[in-house]
A and B are shown apart, each in its own frame.
Chain A
Amino acid sequence: ETGVTQTPRHLVMGMTNKKSLKCEQHLGHNAMYWYKQSAKKPLELMFVYSLEERVENNSVPSRFSPECPNSSHLFLHLHTLQPEDSALYLCASSQELVSGNTIYFGEGSWLTVV
């Protein structure tokens, strides 16, 4: 149990589907993140939220749409994805959005786009 829970753990979707990834943190943190982990590439930061406000969008295509309804929950809405979007999507949280704060990761959601 990491304190950051992601569902589903595995997802297969077609290119025309709409699905969502869910993340919940039980740590009382104020900052949450989405990272993408693809084979043979460094982890890529996608979005950063602090106190439910989006503070960073790292040039992510609009087919990925994040939502942060409260400081404990973070969603990643997916629509019209491409096969190259297949990856492990990691949610994470930290106490504050301050350098040096430890970031805690969930176990990830494995996404396959067919």
Chain B
Amino acid sequence: GNSVTQMEGPVTLSEEAFLTINCTYTATGYPSLFWYVQYPGEGLQLLLKATKADDKGSNKGFEATYRKETTSFHLEKGSVQVSDSAVYFCALSEAGANSKLTFGKGITLSVRP
């Protein structure tokens, strides 16, 4: 079956530090890949997505590239802000199937001033 593996957390960074959050997946075919973010007390919001190999999703300074050869979709940001403190979820939807998402466990990011 499909699965998404995220690096263990939590992650604590200082403001303006570089961020990488690893995500790898197992799926048949070419799934669509997503990063969602959950701010404290809120629901999930789509951060970015990529629907085919080598696509790069980007939003709010965050980027992730769909790497089929390494089955990865790592999230990066060059300079994090305190307001980026949240829980980040990597997810996939299976190719040729419906849009339901399989999520990773999520990772908590805390950014210190």
Contacts and interface: CB of A to CB of B under 8 A. Distances in A.
Contact of B100 (A2, A40, A48, A108): A48
A67 to B, nearest CB: 19
A50 B99 CA distance: 11
Given A42-B105, A90-B44, A103 B89 contact: no
Contacts, number: 70
Interface stretch (A12-20, A72-80, A91-99): A91-99
B103 interface: yes
Contact of A56 (B32, B100, B101): B100
A41 B104 CA distance: 9
Interface residues of B, number: 27
A104 B47 CA distance: 11
Interface of B: 4, 31-32, 34, 36, 41-46, 49, 51, 89, 93-101, 103-106
Residues of A in contact with B, size category:
20 to 34
B93 A100 contact: yes
B49 A99 contact: no
B43 A100 contact: no
A9 to B, nearest CB: 9
A102 interface: yes
Nearest to B96: A99
Nearest to B30: A99
